[in-house]
Structure formats: structure tokens, C-alpha cells
Chain A
Amino acid sequence: MDTVVCVKHVPETAEADILIRGDERGIEEKDLTFDINEADNYAIEEALLWKEKYGGAITVITVGPEDANMTVRMCIAKGADKAIRLDDERFEGSDSYAMAKILHAALKDMEFDAVLTGIQASDDGHGQVGPILAQMLGIPHAAYVIETEMAEEGKLARVHRELEGGLHEVVDVELPAVFTIQTGINEPRYASILGIRKATKKEIELPGLDDLGLQGSEVGQAGSKTRLEKLFPPPVGERAQILEGSPQEVSEELFGLLKDKGVI
């Protein structure tokens, strides 16, 4: 089972203050920490579990600047075999379609049984790249995958897709195929110290636009079908009544409010 895992190096914004950039098309990144996209971390783990069970090699691939080395090296440290970082300043501004095009150019001549990626990125949340990549590669896909098993190794996978309300849908998918992996499918491991040490010396392949045989018009904003025009804070609706004071004071106030309402 040879697997390619597409990962994204994303800013951690869950608990951070986010500032919109001057051009309103992005955020200020300098004070943010970056890490592997959460769902991609589950994708790499699923590939590692397959490798342990069926053998084969894992290629981890990302599109991004030098900072993203950290994310691909962490995948190597956990047991991926090969790392590719697609880097070219002309990739900047690519939407999901252009991003899939870049990945497609890198993958089209490679041999693999499956491509895994997270169901969506935590920053932009498009959820498009995996299925578009499958379409470009001319292979089937399944999105929102929450369980996998090999029905016939290298030929057919039986996967569970997570639907709404706790329901799963079981589908058989011929390989090679693209699967987008949902969080919670497995328990992502931590890299060992030895693994991390080895990974720092690992050579990362760095193809750019020309190496991929792409034209400038196929990537970046020029190759995109959508454009982020403007970021803005969500409109303020009926925001919560914020209680202020020490933990004891707010607890007492809340208790009174809930009691008055007859909630408790």
C-alpha cells in the first residue's frame, strides 16, 4: 500500500487574537504559531496504520513556504518515507481549484494506491481540494471518512463516511482513490525523539512551478476560480450578556440570573 498524504501548515487561531491584514484578504500571521492542520494529522496517522499493516511507503506532500518544512518533517518523524514541499511564490493566492491543480501536477506521474488528506483545513474550511484532486486524477474519492478497511489490499477499500447525527454510510471504493479523513478516525501518535532527530536530516524535495510543468496562468489568483475579496469580523448579533468580576462574583450573579429565570 503506497500512500500519498497531502498536508497543510496552518495557523492556530482557536485561542489567538486574529488581526485582519491591511489588504483585507488575509490575516497577520507573524504572532501566530503554525502546525499541521488537525484533520491532516489524522490522515497521516491513518496512512501510518496502513503502512504498519500492509507495508509500502508514505509520501507526504504540502504546498507552502519554507515554514511548512516543520509540518512535513513532523510527518517524517512519525514514519513517513518521503517529503515533498511544493514551493513557488507564484502559488500564492491559489484557491482550492488552483491548489488541487498544483498537487495534481506533482501526483499525476506518481504510483500510489491511495491519497489521503484531511476533510478540510481549519483556517479556510473549504473542504474542496481532495475531491477536486480526485477528479483531476480521474480516480474515485470518498469524503468525510471516519473508518477504513482494506477489502482487497491495493484494489478495494471499504470505508465509513460520517453523515449527520451519528449515522455512517459504508461505501466500497476502488483503488487508487482519494479519501478525505475526518478527525477522530484514529489516535494520532506523537513522534519519537529518535524520529525527530532523523527527520531533521531528511532531504525535502522542492519542486517549483517549472519543475511541475505548470504555467503561471494555471496557479495563484490567475489559475483560481474564486477570489477572497474581503475578510471582516462577524456581524455582532445578540451577543451574550457578559458577567464581570471574580469567579465567585460571576458565579453568584449567574446563579441569581438562572434562578430568576426559573432555569434552576
Chain B
Amino acid sequence: MGDVFVLAEHRRGELREVTLEMLGKGRELARQLGGNLKAVLLGHGVDAFGSELADQAHEVLMVEDERLENFNSGLYQKVLVSLLADRKPTLTLIGHTACGMDLAPSLAAELDLPLATDCIGFEFEDGRLLAIREMYGGKLQANVSFGESEQYMATVRQAAFPIKELEPLGGQIVAVDSPLAEEARRKKFIEYVEAAVGDVDIAQSEVVVAVGRGIKEQENLEIVQKLAEVAGGVLAGSRPVIDAGWLPPDRQVGQSGKTVKPKLYIAVGISGASQHLSGMKGSDTIVAINKDPGAPIFNVATYGIVDDLFKVVPALTEQLSGG
């Protein structure tokens, strides 16, 4: 009782970082719940991950099956339903990723257990587990409680918890027979498609000037382009600008685009959704220009200017070109 399970996420021969982040937090939660931390590894030819995970868990439950070589939410769900129904961990953590979110909601519904998604923290209040998550694009946070249940599930935001250097736990790797009886029928993995490579790699630039929803019209991009030029940098964008087709996808900064760590990052009219922040918060110096003082971008910026970008950007451009 009181066990915490962490679903390992891996893709194309690499264990994804969110797995280690969850194991770090999971260890603490398992201790608080008085149980063990177990990593759940589904895949084909993933023994090496097993050893890596065993370092950070009391036990690794490994299901080897060639049908699990690539992620398939339908197959994962079948395996996990059987695993979780048998072992009844108190809490199961899954990454809040494109794969985790293809899986967790339907898995939780099948097992009839409460699920909180995109969690950035966990707390105990009077012995009761609370999940902390963001709402309204990060402008507010919420404590969410779980209904009465033997088991709970949560998806955990990427990079919400640090990967910690922890004492190795030296867990056992336990091979679990695959419960899969047949091939995937209703949903089949076909292939991966890489992002198209553009003319500029924004991740290589020392200065990135990124523009967001606040720019309002495609024509207005020009003033930000000018700023990028005089700052000696490249022009990039947040998701809404890419969605609108105003900049090509290879210019997108954020979780589904690129992660950049330039010396200088200037965010123009970007509110700072978590998916964007995760792609740029490692920048050395961050300047944010936004008229909304409540925009989450100001929580990661070094310098902030709360004003109309249409006034500030031209003034800053002039300052930089004059200097």
C-alpha cells in the first residue's frame, strides 16, 4: 500500500527527461505515502532503460513485448489496466506529454479512478493528497482534490520538477508477462515524421527576438523583424503566431517547437504560456515587453516593460541602432 508508480516515457531509443523528473518527485511522495516507488517500463529491447530506472526506483516493472516498441495508447492502456488493477498503487504518475495525454484520461476512466492533469506540484493537507495545477494560461493556480478512491492518477508537467542527484535505490528489475493477446487493431503506429528544416536554426542564435499574440496582425511583424535585425538576432515566435501562418514552424519557440538558450531573449507581446516558457526559460537574459502586468512571462523575465509593444519596440529599435 502507498506505492507510487511512474510510467517511463521513451522514444526512439531515448528515455525522456520527464521520467526522471517524475521519479525524483515520486520518491518524495512514496515516502510521504509510506510506500515504494516503482517505475513501469513498457517496450521492446529496453533493458538498458531498466537498469537506469532501477537506480532511481525501489523496483522496475518491465513489460517486454515487440508490439510495445513504439508508443500506442491502445496497447499501453491494455497493459496498464492489468498492471494497475493487480498491484493497486496509491498514485500513478504519467508525463503530461503528447503521449501521456493520449493515454492517461482514457486509462483513468477505464479504471474508474480520479485523474488530475498537468500537475506542477503535490501537497498533503490533513493527510489528503492535493494536486496543484495552473489555470487560465498560468495566470492562476488551483488546488485540486481527488474523490474517495483506492488509487489516483496524475499527469505531471514537463520540467515542473528538477532531475535530482539522489542516492541510488538499486531497485530490482521485475519482468512482467505481457498481457497483450493480439496485434493492435483499432489504432496503429505508422511512423515518425521529422519537422521540416528551415533556413535558420533559431537555437543557434545568440540573440532571439520572439513575437506573440500581442502583435495582432501579420503586417505588424515588420517592426519586430527590425528590432531583431538591429539586435543582431533572429526572429522567432510563440505558438499563436505560427498557428496563424505568420512565421514558419521552424521559428516556433516552445514545447512543440524549439528550445532556445540564447544570451538574450526578447519576448514581444508574449503572455508566457507554460509550453512557451519551457522552450526559452534557460536563456541568459530575458526581456519581456507586454502590456498586461499579470502576464506569466514576467515571472521568468530578467527585465520587464509593461507597456504597449507598438510604442516600445520602435523606441528600442532606435536606441539599439543608434548605440
Q: Indicate if A213 sits at the interface (CB-CB under 8 A).
A: no
- B285 contacts A261, C-beta separation under 8 Å: yes
Q: Specify which chain B residues have a CB less than 8 angstroms from the CB of A128 in the assembled complex.
A: 104-105, 115, 117
Tell me what chain B mostly uses at the interface: helix, strand, loop, or mixed.
mixed
Expressed in whole angstroms, the minimum distance between the Cβ of A21 and any Cβ of chain B is 11
Expressed in whole angstroms, the minimum distance between the Cβ of B213 and any Cβ of chain A is 7
Q: Which stretch of B163-171, B172-180, B250-258 is in the interface?
A: B250-258
Contacts between the two chains (Cβ within 8 Å), count: 274
Q: Which residue of B lies closest to A11 (CB)?
A: B136
Known: A164-B255, A259-B323. Is A227-B144 also a contact (CB below 8 A)? yes
Q: Indicate if B47 sits at the interface (CB-CB under 8 A).
A: no
- B187 contacts A258, C-beta separation under 8 Å: no
Q: Select which of B106, B187, B286, B299 is within 8 A of A132 by beta carbon.
A: B106
Q: Specify which chain B residues have a CB less than 8 angstroms from the CB of A131 in the assembled complex.
A: 101-102, 104-106, 109
Q: Specify which chain B residues have a CB less than 8 angstroms from the CB of A160 in the assembled complex.
A: 193
Q: Select which of B250, B286, B292, B312 is within 8 A of A247 by beta carbon.
A: B312
- A144 contacts B102, C-beta separation under 8 Å: yes
A-contact bits for B97-141, CB 8 A (1 contact / 0 none)? 111011011101110011111100000000000110111111111
Known: A241-B302, A255-B323. Is A15-B114 also a contact (CB below 8 A)? no
Q: Indicate if B264 sits at the interface (CB-CB under 8 A).
A: yes
Known: A14-B271, A15-B291. Is A227-B145 also a contact (CB below 8 A)? yes
Expressed in whole angstroms, the minimum distance between the Cβ of A136 and any Cβ of chain B is 7
Q: Which residue of A lies closest to B196 (CB)?
A: A166
Q: Specify which chain A residues have a CB less than 8 angstroms from the CB of B104 in the assembled complex.
A: 128, 131
- A-side interface residues, number (CB < 8 Å): 85
Q: Select which of B187, B232, B323 is within 8 A of A171 by beta carbon.
A: B187
- B264 contacts A263, C-beta separation under 8 Å: yes
Expressed in whole angstroms, the minimum distance between the Cβ of B224 and any Cβ of chain A is 14
- A226 contacts B256, C-beta separation under 8 Å: no
Q: Which residue of B lies closest to A229 (CB)?
A: B143
Q: Indicate if B188 sits at the interface (CB-CB under 8 A).
A: yes
Beta-carbon contacts under 8 Å, A1-38 to B: 13-15, 17-18, 20, 27
Q: Which residue of A lies closest to B147 (CB)?
A: A225
- B74 contacts A162, C-beta separation under 8 Å: no
Q: Select which of B98, B187, B285 is within 8 A of A144 by beta carbon.
A: B98
Interchain CA distance A232-B285 in the complex, whole Å: 28
Q: Specify which chain B residues have a CB less than 8 angstroms from the CB of A163 in the assembled complex.
A: 11, 97-99, 192, 256
- B147 contacts A254, C-beta separation under 8 Å: no
Q: Select which of A124, A184, A225, A250 is within 8 A of B149 by beta carbon.
A: A225
Beta-carbon contacts under 8 Å, A75-120 to B: 96-97, 100, 119
Q: Which residue of B lies closest to A249 (CB)?
A: B315
Q: Specify which chain B residues have a CB less than 8 angstroms from the CB of A127 in the assembled complex.
A: 101, 105, 117-118
Q: Indicate if A142 sits at the interface (CB-CB under 8 A).
A: yes
Interface, chain B (partner A; CB < 8 A): 11, 70-74, 97-99, 101-102, 104-106, 108-110, 113-118, 130-131, 133-147, 149, 158, 185-195, 207, 213-214, 231-232, 239-240, 242-243, 245, 249-250, 252, 255-259, 263-264, 271, 284-288, 291-294, 296, 298-307, 311-312, 314-316, 318-320, 323
Q: List 30 A-B contacts (CB under 8 A).
A: A15-B214, A15-B292, A18-B136, A97-B114, A97-B115, A128-B104, A164-B158, A164-B255, A168-B195, A172-B190, A225-B108, A225-B147, A226-B144, A227-B144, A227-B145, A228-B142, A232-B140, A232-B142, A233-B139, A233-B141, A234-B299, A240-B302, A240-B303, A247-B311, A247-B316, A248-B315, A254-B305, A254-B319, A259-B323, A263-B285
